[in-house]
């Protein structure tokens, strides 16, 4: 019938202990036993799912999780040629140890992520806090709260009091294969990326699965837009138009192979919808990452694509190095 997740529950402000599961179900694609890994990765990223059901006939016979795909990635030798800095998110949002849990929760909603790093005054990683810690903290006493977490008294404690410390990190010049192995061995979905001891980015299971998806053989360029909510899907055609406009320019310099756009919508102060759009462009061994935030979906996407196009143009006659990628 579908899946139910932390994200769905926490976006439902009216959710409480008496809420019916059927009101929180989200429909997802189903897999067949013969589907290959790249197709599974494509379905997961396109629908922003952490697991997908496998169907035989009309019966569900199992699920495939992000963790299972990352486990495969940890044994794919070709990923030994890709460095963490090439696909990590940078710049990265983080919180200080004295920040309130409600602040961390707000950032997670904005970025549509389940974990964020905690840093000290010198930008050194001292821990991480995730949705797992928030849920555990929220579930301790009898007054269990699900929806509208920000208004809960339990949200007004410091992240330090519930954080996981020390954090497991990965170096910016480690390979993606090594990072995938770290995730599997420690059963985690997010790795803060460090240079020395300083935070310079973050790498997630989603990032690795995007690479697997991009490995699928296609005759034409692959474009994927994920995370659109139902009332934003009317803008899909306009989004493809702004993408096509910049892809024509990029195609004159490099051959683009795949473009992944992920849209996260959240309510800012006053209840107005704000959009955070992240993009990753793959082209002949090169990867370009950017993120843009704005109030209008199409305009924000347009600004994002212009930045990507400008970045590609600047790469034309120079080799991209890590320090040049810092923004």
**How far is 256 from 220, CA to CA, in rounded Å?**
9
Query: Which CATH entry fits the domain spanning 78-209: 2.40.10.170, 2.30.30.100, 3.10.580.10, 3.50.50.60?
Result: 3.10.580.10
- Angle, CA of 216, 262 and 61, to the nearest 5°: 60
- 3-class DSSP assignment, residue 266: strand
Residues 6+ apart with CB under 8 A from 271: none
Task: Give the span between the Cα atoms of 262 and 260, in whole angstroms.
Answer: 7
- CA-closest candidate to residue 250, choices 214, 203, 206, 284: 284
Contacts of 183 (CB under 8 A, 6+ apart): 67, 70, 74, 189, 191, 205, 208
Could you tell me if 198 and 123 are in contact, meaning their C-beta atoms sit under 8 angstroms apart? yes
Per residue in 73-122, pLDDT tens? 888 777 777 888 878 887 788 889 888 888 888 888 777 778 889 998 88
Q: What is the pLDDT along the chain (327 residues), one digit of tens a residue?
A: 888 877 777 666 666 677 788 888 888 889 998 888 888 888 888 777 888 999 998 899 999 999 999 998 888 777 777 888 878 887 788 889 888 888 888 888 777 778 889 998 888 998 998 888 877 776 655 555 555 555 555 567 788 888 888 889 999 989 988 999 999 999 888 999 999 889 998 998 888 888 887 766 655 577 878 778 777 888 888 998 888 888 888 887 777 878 888 888 876 555 577 888 888 888 766 778 888 888 899 999 999 999 988 888 887 655 444 444 444
d(C-alpha 180, C-alpha 75), whole Å: 9
φ, ψ of residue 277 in degrees (nearest 5): -115, 125
Strand, coil or helix: what is 79? helix
* CATH for 6-66 (2.40.370.10, 2.60.40.10, 3.40.50.300, 3.10.580.10): 3.10.580.10
- Close Cβ partners of 46 (under 8 Å, ≥ 6 residues apart): 224, 226
Please give the distance of CA 88 from its chain centroid, rounded to a whole number: 10
Q: For 218-325, CATH number?
A: 3.30.160.100
Q: What are the start and end residues of each CATH 3.10.580.10 domain in the chain?
A: 6-66, 78-209
58-79 pLDDT, tens digit each? 899 999 999 999 998 888 777 7
| Burial of 42: CB neighbours in 10 Å, binned 0-12, 13-18, 19+ | buried
Helix then strand then coil, in percent of the chain rounded to 5, is 40, 25, 35
Q: How far apart are CA 45 and CA 126, in angstroms?
A: 30
């Amino acid at each position: 019938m579908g899946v139910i997740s932390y994200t769905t529950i926490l976006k439902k402000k009216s959710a409480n202990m008496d809420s019916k599961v059927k009101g929180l179900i989200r429909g997802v694609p189903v897999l067949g036993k013969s589907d290959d890994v790249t197709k599974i990765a494509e379905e997961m990223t396109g629908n922003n799912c952490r697991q997908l059901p496998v169907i035989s006939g009309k019966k569900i016979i199992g699920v495939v999780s992000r963790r299972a795909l990352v486990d495969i990635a940890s044994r794919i030798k070709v990923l030994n040629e890709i460095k963490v800095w090439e696909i990590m998110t940078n710049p990265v949002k983080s919180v200080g140890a004295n920040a309130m849990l409600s602040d961390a929760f707000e950032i997670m909603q904005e970025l549509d992520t389940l974990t964020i790093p905690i840093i000290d005054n010198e930008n050194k990683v001292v821990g991480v806090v995730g949705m797992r810690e928030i849920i555990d903290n929220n579930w301790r006493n009898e007054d269990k709260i699900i929806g509208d977490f920000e208004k809960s008294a339990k949200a007004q404690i410091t992240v330090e009091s519930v954080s996981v410390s020390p954090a497991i990190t990965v170096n910016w010049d480690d390979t993606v294969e090594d990072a995938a192995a770290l995730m599997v061995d420690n059963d985690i979905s997010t790795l803060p990326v460090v240079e020395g001891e300083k935070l310079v980015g973050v790498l997630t299971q989603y990032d690795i699965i995007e690479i697997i998806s991009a490995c699928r053989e296609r005759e034409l360029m692959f474009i994927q837009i994920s995370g659109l909510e139902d009332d934003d899907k009317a803008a899909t055609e306009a989004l493809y138009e702004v993408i096509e406009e910049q892809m024509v320019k990029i195609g004159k310099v490099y051959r683009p192979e795949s473009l992944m756009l992920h849209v996260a919508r959240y309510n800012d102060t006053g209840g107005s919808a704000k959009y955070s759009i992240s993009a990753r462009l793959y082209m002949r061994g090169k990867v370009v990452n950017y993120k843009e935030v704005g109030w209008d979906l199409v305009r924000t996407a347009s600004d994002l694509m212009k930045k990507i196009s400008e970045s590609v143009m600047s790469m034309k006659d120079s080799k991209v190095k890590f320090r040049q990628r810092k923004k």
